[in-house]
Amino acid sequence: MELTWYGLGCFRLTERGFPSVVMDPLDPDEAGLGHLQAELVTTSRFADDPSALVWPQVRGVSRTIASPGEYEIGGVFVTGVACLPAANEDAGAEEYVVYTVGYGGVVVCHLGELSRVPTQAQVEAIGPVTVLLIPVGIPNGLTPAMASETVSLIEPEIVIPMQYHLPGLKVDRNPLDGFLKELGVSESAPLPSLEVTDGVESEETQVVVLAPQ
Protein backbone atom coordinates (compact mmCIF):
# COMPACT_ATOMS: atom_id res chain seq x y z
CA MET A 1 0.00 0.00 0.00
CA GLU A 2 1.30 3.45 -0.92
CA LEU A 3 0.45 6.48 1.21
CA THR A 4 0.91 10.04 -0.08
CA TRP A 5 0.36 13.31 1.82
CA TYR A 6 -1.02 16.49 0.24
CA GLY A 7 -0.82 18.81 3.24
CA LEU A 8 -2.93 19.43 6.38
CA GLY A 9 -5.01 16.24 6.86
CA CYS A 10 -5.25 15.13 3.21
CA PHE A 11 -3.83 11.70 2.34
CA ARG A 12 -4.28 9.34 -0.61
CA LEU A 13 -4.05 5.57 -0.12
CA THR A 14 -3.51 3.30 -3.11
CA GLU A 15 -3.07 -0.44 -3.56
CA ARG A 16 -3.13 -2.33 -6.85
CA GLY A 17 -6.43 -4.14 -7.32
CA PHE A 18 -8.31 -2.11 -4.67
CA PRO A 19 -10.23 1.17 -4.69
CA SER A 20 -8.06 4.19 -3.87
CA VAL A 21 -9.02 6.37 -0.91
CA VAL A 22 -8.60 10.10 -0.23
CA MET A 23 -8.91 11.00 3.45
CA ASP A 24 -9.93 14.55 4.48
CA PRO A 25 -9.56 16.23 1.08
CA LEU A 26 -8.44 19.85 1.16
CA ASP A 27 -10.72 22.71 0.28
CA PRO A 28 -9.55 24.19 -3.05
CA ASP A 29 -8.72 27.51 -1.38
CA GLU A 30 -6.60 25.92 1.39
CA ALA A 31 -3.69 24.95 -0.83
CA GLY A 32 -2.65 24.78 -4.45
CA LEU A 33 -3.81 21.21 -4.87
CA GLY A 34 -4.27 19.73 -8.30
CA HIS A 35 -6.85 17.07 -9.08
CA LEU A 36 -6.62 13.67 -7.40
CA GLN A 37 -8.17 10.37 -8.47
CA ALA A 38 -9.99 8.21 -5.92
CA GLU A 39 -13.07 6.02 -5.73
CA LEU A 40 -13.64 6.58 -2.01
CA VAL A 41 -13.45 9.68 0.21
CA THR A 42 -13.56 9.77 4.00
CA THR A 43 -14.09 13.02 5.88
CA SER A 44 -13.58 13.48 9.61
CA ARG A 45 -16.31 16.13 9.77
CA PHE A 46 -19.61 14.42 10.52
CA ALA A 47 -22.31 14.90 7.86
CA ASP A 48 -25.96 13.78 7.95
CA ASP A 49 -26.02 13.36 4.17
CA PRO A 50 -22.60 12.34 2.78
CA SER A 51 -24.05 12.11 -0.75
CA ALA A 52 -24.53 15.89 -0.71
CA LEU A 53 -20.82 16.50 -0.21
CA VAL A 54 -18.96 17.50 -3.38
CA TRP A 55 -15.20 17.22 -3.90
CA PRO A 56 -14.32 19.17 -7.07
CA GLN A 57 -10.61 18.45 -6.57
CA VAL A 58 -11.09 14.64 -6.41
CA ARG A 59 -12.14 12.84 -9.58
CA GLY A 60 -13.86 9.47 -9.85
CA VAL A 61 -15.48 9.48 -6.40
CA SER A 62 -18.29 6.92 -6.10
CA ARG A 63 -18.70 6.95 -2.31
CA THR A 64 -18.15 9.42 0.55
CA ILE A 65 -18.09 8.25 4.18
CA ALA A 66 -18.78 10.93 6.79
CA SER A 67 -20.22 9.05 9.77
CA PRO A 68 -19.34 6.30 12.28
CA GLY A 69 -19.88 2.67 11.31
CA GLU A 70 -18.31 -0.26 9.49
CA TYR A 71 -18.04 -0.28 5.70
CA GLU A 72 -16.60 -2.56 3.02
CA ILE A 73 -16.01 -1.17 -0.46
CA GLY A 74 -14.29 -3.37 -3.02
CA GLY A 75 -12.22 -5.23 -0.44
CA VAL A 76 -11.25 -2.07 1.48
CA PHE A 77 -12.52 -2.13 5.07
CA VAL A 78 -13.34 1.20 6.72
CA THR A 79 -14.33 1.74 10.34
CA GLY A 80 -15.51 5.12 11.63
CA VAL A 81 -15.30 5.77 15.36
CA ALA A 82 -17.28 8.67 16.83
CA CYS A 83 -15.27 11.16 18.90
CA LEU A 84 -17.96 13.25 20.59
CA PRO A 85 -17.37 16.27 22.79
CA ALA A 86 -16.76 15.39 26.44
CA ALA A 87 -19.76 15.89 28.75
CA ASN A 88 -18.12 18.82 30.54
CA GLU A 89 -17.24 20.71 27.36
CA ASP A 90 -19.25 23.09 25.21
CA ALA A 91 -22.46 21.54 23.96
CA GLY A 92 -21.87 23.20 20.59
CA ALA A 93 -18.48 21.57 20.01
CA GLU A 94 -18.28 19.89 16.61
CA GLU A 95 -18.59 16.12 16.33
CA TYR A 96 -15.98 14.31 14.30
CA VAL A 97 -15.02 10.81 13.21
CA VAL A 98 -11.75 8.88 13.42
CA TYR A 99 -11.30 6.35 10.60
CA THR A 100 -9.32 3.19 10.08
CA VAL A 101 -8.83 1.97 6.51
CA GLY A 102 -7.68 -1.63 6.04
CA TYR A 103 -5.99 -2.99 2.92
CA GLY A 104 -5.51 -6.62 3.89
CA GLY A 105 -3.23 -6.67 6.92
CA VAL A 106 -2.23 -2.99 6.62
CA VAL A 107 -4.45 -0.67 8.68
CA VAL A 108 -4.19 3.13 8.47
CA CYS A 109 -5.78 5.23 11.22
CA HIS A 110 -6.55 8.90 10.50
CA LEU A 111 -7.22 10.92 13.67
CA GLY A 112 -8.72 13.89 11.84
CA GLU A 113 -8.49 17.04 13.97
CA LEU A 114 -8.45 15.19 17.29
CA SER A 115 -8.09 17.68 20.15
CA ARG A 116 -7.96 15.39 23.19
CA VAL A 117 -6.39 12.07 24.12
CA PRO A 118 -8.79 9.29 23.07
CA THR A 119 -10.60 7.30 25.73
CA GLN A 120 -9.83 3.64 26.33
CA ALA A 121 -13.15 2.74 24.71
CA GLN A 122 -12.21 4.70 21.60
CA VAL A 123 -8.77 3.09 21.46
CA GLU A 124 -10.40 -0.36 21.66
CA ALA A 125 -12.87 0.59 18.91
CA ILE A 126 -10.00 1.76 16.70
CA GLY A 127 -8.21 -1.57 17.16
CA PRO A 128 -4.75 -2.58 15.92
CA VAL A 129 -3.08 0.07 13.74
CA THR A 130 -0.17 -0.20 11.31
CA VAL A 131 0.12 3.50 10.37
CA LEU A 132 -1.17 6.32 12.57
CA LEU A 133 -1.83 9.75 11.01
CA ILE A 134 -1.83 12.20 13.91
CA PRO A 135 -2.49 15.98 14.03
CA VAL A 136 0.36 17.69 15.87
CA GLY A 137 0.10 21.41 15.04
CA ILE A 138 -3.52 22.54 15.40
CA PRO A 139 -3.82 25.51 17.80
CA ASN A 140 -5.86 24.41 20.84
CA GLY A 141 -5.51 20.82 19.59
CA LEU A 142 -3.23 18.05 20.78
CA THR A 143 -0.14 19.34 22.55
CA PRO A 144 3.11 17.47 21.91
CA ALA A 145 2.66 15.67 25.25
CA MET A 146 -0.94 14.72 24.40
CA ALA A 147 0.09 13.51 20.95
CA SER A 148 2.84 11.39 22.50
CA GLU A 149 0.35 9.87 24.96
CA THR A 150 -2.03 9.12 22.10
CA VAL A 151 0.73 7.29 20.22
CA SER A 152 1.50 5.25 23.35
CA LEU A 153 -2.16 4.27 23.75
CA ILE A 154 -2.72 3.22 20.13
CA GLU A 155 0.72 1.56 19.71
CA PRO A 156 1.06 1.80 15.91
CA GLU A 157 4.03 0.47 13.99
CA ILE A 158 4.48 3.77 12.11
CA VAL A 159 3.51 7.34 13.02
CA ILE A 160 3.10 10.07 10.42
CA PRO A 161 2.52 13.62 11.74
CA MET A 162 0.09 15.93 9.93
CA GLN A 163 -1.67 19.28 10.38
CA TYR A 164 1.50 21.29 11.16
CA HIS A 165 3.01 24.48 9.79
CA LEU A 166 4.55 24.51 6.33
CA PRO A 167 5.79 27.44 4.22
CA GLY A 168 2.95 28.98 2.25
CA LEU A 169 0.19 27.37 4.33
CA LYS A 170 -2.92 29.55 4.41
CA VAL A 171 -4.20 28.37 7.81
CA ASP A 172 -2.62 28.75 11.24
CA ARG A 173 -0.65 25.74 12.42
CA ASN A 174 2.14 25.16 14.95
CA PRO A 175 5.55 23.79 13.86
CA LEU A 176 6.44 20.10 13.81
CA ASP A 177 9.56 20.25 15.97
CA GLY A 178 7.71 20.20 19.33
CA PHE A 179 6.19 16.81 18.54
CA LEU A 180 9.46 15.35 17.27
CA LYS A 181 11.29 16.58 20.38
CA GLU A 182 8.62 15.05 22.66
CA LEU A 183 9.16 11.67 20.97
CA GLY A 184 12.94 12.04 21.01
CA VAL A 185 13.17 11.94 17.22
CA SER A 186 15.61 13.94 15.12
CA GLU A 187 14.15 15.69 12.09
CA SER A 188 15.22 14.06 8.83
CA ALA A 189 14.62 14.65 5.14
CA PRO A 190 10.90 14.11 4.41
CA LEU A 191 9.93 11.26 2.08
CA PRO A 192 7.72 11.86 -0.99
CA SER A 193 5.50 8.89 -0.06
CA LEU A 194 5.51 5.73 2.06
CA GLU A 195 5.20 2.12 0.92
CA VAL A 196 3.83 -0.18 3.62
CA THR A 197 3.92 -3.97 3.27
CA ASP A 198 1.79 -6.43 5.22
CA GLY A 199 3.78 -8.59 7.61
CA VAL A 200 6.68 -6.19 8.15
CA GLU A 201 6.80 -5.46 11.88
CA SER A 202 9.14 -3.30 13.96
CA GLU A 203 9.95 -3.66 17.64
CA GLU A 204 9.69 0.12 18.10
CA THR A 205 7.27 2.66 16.67
CA GLN A 206 8.84 4.51 13.75
CA VAL A 207 8.17 8.19 13.03
CA VAL A 208 8.06 9.01 9.32
CA VAL A 209 7.84 12.60 8.04
CA LEU A 210 6.36 13.04 4.57
CA ALA A 211 6.73 15.94 2.16
CA PRO A 212 3.42 17.30 0.83
CA GLN A 213 2.96 16.57 -2.86
Q: How many domains does the chain have?
A: 1
- SS3 string, 125-174, reads HHCCCCEEEEECCCCCCCCHHHHHHHHHHHCCCEEEEECCCCCCCCCCCC
Domain of residue 69: give its range. Answer: 2-207
8 Å CB contact between 25 and 16: no
* Residue 114 covered by a domain: yes
Q: Does the structure show a pLDDT above 90 at 138? A: yes
* Residue 213 covered by a domain: no
* Residue 66 covered by a domain: yes
* Residue 212 covered by a domain: no
Do β-strands 21-23 and 11-14 pair in parallel, antiparallel, or remain unpaired? antiparallel
- pLDDT per residue over 40-55, tens digit each? 999 998 877 777 777 7
- pLDDT per residue over 172-197, tens digit each? 999 999 999 999 998 888 999 999 98
* Residue 126 covered by a domain: yes
Closest alpha carbon to 209 in 103, 186, 201, 199? 186
- pLDDT per residue over 59-84, tens digit each? 899 999 999 999 999 999 999 999 86
pLDDT at 88: 44
d(CA 66, CA 51): 9
Q: Does the structure show a pLDDT above 80 at 118? A: yes
Look up the CATH number of the domain holding residue 47. Answer: 3.60.15.10
Per the prediction, the chain carries an average pLDDT of: 89
Query: Which residue stretches of 31-161 are H helix?
Result: 120-126, 144-154
- For 181, the enclosing helix (H) or strand (E) is helix 177-182
